[in-house]
Amino acid sequence: MPQKATKTEEKKPPADMSSFFQIKSKNDSETNNKELQVYDPTKENYHPVKDAIWSLGDNVPYAAFAQTLEAIESISGRLKMIETLANFFRSVGVLSPSDLAICANMTLNQLGPAYSGLELGIGENILSKAISSSTGSNMAKIKSELKTTGDLGKVASSLRSKQRIMMKPKPLDMQFIFKKLQEIAQATGSASQGKKVDLISRLLVACVNGSEAKYIVRSLQGKLRIGLAEQSVLMALGQAAALTPFHKVLDSYDVNSGANKDLILNESYLRLDKKLEKADIEKVVVAVKTAFCQRPNFEPLVRGLLLDGPEKLQLHCPIQPGIPIRPMLAHPTKGVDDLLRRFDNSTFSCEYKYDGERAQIHVLDTGSVNIYSRNQEDNTTKYPDIISVMNNQVVPNSKFTEELADLIIEMKLAVEQEVKQMIGQPIKSAILDSEAVAWDKEKEQILPFQILSTRKRKDVKEEDVKVQVCIYAFDLLFLNGISLVQQTFRQRRELLRTAFKDQAGQFHFATSIDSGDTEKIAEFLDQAVKGNCEGLMVKTLDRNSTYEIAKRSHNWLKLKKDYLDGVGDTLDLVPIGAFYGSGKRAGVYGAFLLACYESDEEQFQTICKLGTGLSDADLKKFSETLSEVKIEGPKSYYSYNAGLLPDVWFDASCVWEIKAADMSISPAHRAAEGMADPEKGISLRFPRFLRERPDKKVEDATSARQVYEMYISQEQIRNQLEKGVNKEDDDEFY
């Protein structure tokens, strides 16, 4: 008989939580470690049942998760890291299927999809107090160890490992931890800080060892730092589903029960021999990635894998209004000639590149409208004025016309009879891709992005809006129950402009021309810049013009006026350190150490020292705001040269847009180290501050791969390469 899962009960520690422990002697530590069950997901010929340290129907022990993270952190090869995580997922999927989505979320340090708005990111002060409360260590000791290690998780692990357990706590499991992390994230109000300290202290007291404490603290910080980002986690999940097809292994599983019980395994499908072709595994991985990009939520993705397998994931993860889609992104291009070379023999369109914030607008059949950012964050409460315009003008004035019906029938998107029944009815559901820009009503013109960035980020009341916005729609991804992402851009654009109508100063279509004439494109670029736009977006109309969800595609190119001189694109970089100013800049930070982001390693790699382009007001402002995130020393995930140390270090917290004259190989910086040179990084020459990017997270900063591609795209470097580097087919997933 399968084992029944027992519910983990929280034991409340006394007020003085450190009394649970005493300092351990070396022998005490060795004895305690021997009592721990060792879980090793790195094993060759891993068996998802026999090599697990829990049984069928049990909830996944947090110890197994922590040991998996520990193993991954110690591995240098990315493929082995993915295989290790896949082995853990295989065991979870067959022994504790109701925990699989939780485990996937927690591997990415998420408490749910981005659009749920539930985030961690607890500050060092609160965590330090909790560590002090749970271990009996004073704040000075914690601060000293943090300065040495640069990792509060390691501090918690070290202090916890030095304690002897007087009353052995009940083992933690993943469901319990996940619930407590959600409770901590949801704590608000005047007493929330004390409540968070108390909740975190209780969690740390319940840890059996230092490893558990380390990863709980890192989870609370929002930074696991194991070297695996989202794409790798999806690859691991896909690999697990390929090697151990959960829907075949689990003969009896009630996905609605929400519990790991009454499970029956069909072990003939465990595929222990791993004799799958690489192409077969890759096929499942692609299916998992595609499904997640359409519906970035592990719950329906995992449900589909458990019930029907990867072949039917589309049924579980369809595009649906109310669930944000990962947007398609563009590659930079150096100029019109480069543009024509890339799009040789293709018809294409040039659109104004608006200087605003990406807005994915969802019209739901319930009558409500939602707005999402490029990071799938729910921006609905940020733009009540857009909601009002959509509800009161755009949607009511958008009818399902006979012309629209004819287009849909011609494209064979739906049954003719069903389409004709919609004629004359209002548009019921849609997903539009657009840009929200600041708008001057009196002058009827676009305002700079800096004006838009002054708006409150959430919970805005329409009557309090001071910065007006105008929407420029450029794509249509979904219409009245029909997904359009597989249609050509020409078709999607025609449907967009047929279904919806301009609303003066509030809702417009992107200004565009369809032309391959060099002079016309150059003239159009000038017009865009004069109209307060950044430049042009150039898109293929017919060939290879489907909407590539979550890809930075070469079928969309961005052409800015700035590109014609210097580096082909501006960079989005993160300040991680600063140098004290002197002379006129005395009393403030005079220069900053900036970094790009290496997603595979989850590292911030230094790329330049910046002091140009910053006004006195900027220096004063940044000296104040960045001082709030000042830390004792560099984080363990900062990659820098010891010969260029800033006076102060910062927690990675904001993104700045930077322009540079060019790029060069440098021994002083670590950006894209090993890509252009085996031992040196890439640095910016004459970097200049342009603006803040409050719409971007630090993980959205320019990647090391992008830095490398920008470096080799420079004309002088390209000429030096004997055979050149052709990256045109290397579209980036994410």
Q: Which residues are catalytic?
A: 353
Residues counted in the chain? 734
Q: How far apart are CA 709 and CA 62, in angstroms?
A: 40
Q: How far apart are CA 690 and CA 658, in angstroms?
A: 5
Q: How far apart are CA 641 and CA 670, in angstroms?
A: 7
Cα angle 567, 571, 577; round to 5: 125
Q: How many beta carbons lie within 10 A of that of residue 730, not counting itself? A: 12
Q: How many beta carbons lie within 10 A of that of residue 547, not counting itself? A: 23
Residue in the structure block whose two tokens are 């947090």:
62
Please report, as a single letter, which amino acid is at residue 500.
Answer: F
Question: CA 674: distance to chain centroid?
Answer: 25
- Provide the pairing of β-strand 357-363 with 430-440: antiparallel
Q: How far apart are CA 678 and CA 728, in angstroms?
A: 24
Nearest alpha carbon to residue 81 among 631, 639, 602, 565 = 602
Q: How far apart are CA 436 and CA 444, in angstroms?
A: 15
**Three-class SS state of 324:** coil
What would the DSSP string read from start to end of 359-426?
A: EEEEE-TTS-EEEE-TT--B-GGG-HHHHHHIIIIITTT-B--HHHHHHHHHTT-S-HHHHHTTTTSB
Please provide residue 553's backbone torsions phi and psi, each rounded to the nearest 5 degrees. -100, 150
Nearest alpha carbon to residue 514 among 335, 340, 347, 341 = 347
Number of H helices, E strands in the chain: 25, 27
Q: How far apart are CA 342 and CA 338, in angstroms?
A: 6
**Three-class SS state of 138:** coil
Q: Are 173 and 92 in contact (CB under 8 A)?
A: no
Q: Are 241 and 276 in contact (CB under 8 A)?
A: no
Nearest alpha carbon to residue 650 among 617, 628, 618 = 628
Nearest alpha carbon to residue 529 among 509, 511, 514 = 511
**Residues near 231 by Cβ (< 8 Å), separated by ≥ 6?**
289, 599, 733, 734
Query: Per the structure block, which two tokens stand in for 501?
Result: 């109508």
Please provide residue 579's backbone torsions phi and psi, each rounded to the nearest 5 degrees. -115, 135
Nearest alpha carbon to residue 160 among 113, 104, 107, 200 = 200
Q: Are 473 and 453 in contact (CB under 8 A)?
A: no
472 DSSP β-pair partners = 435, 508
Q: How far apart are CA 341 and CA 722, in angstroms?
A: 19
Q: Are 355 and 538 in contact (CB under 8 A)?
A: no
Please provide residue 577's backbone torsions phi and psi, each rounded to the nearest 5 degrees. -165, 170
Q: How far apart are CA 86 and CA 238, in angstroms?
A: 8
Q: How many beta carbons lie within 10 A of that of residue 15, not counting itself? A: 8
Please provide residue 571's backbone torsions phi and psi, each rounded to the nearest 5 degrees. -120, 145
Query: Per the structure block, which two tokens stand in for 566?
Result: 């210097």
Q: Are 553 and 387 in contact (CB under 8 A)?
A: no
What are the start-end ranges of the E strands in 64-191? 163-165
Q: Are 427 and 321 in contact (CB under 8 A)?
A: no
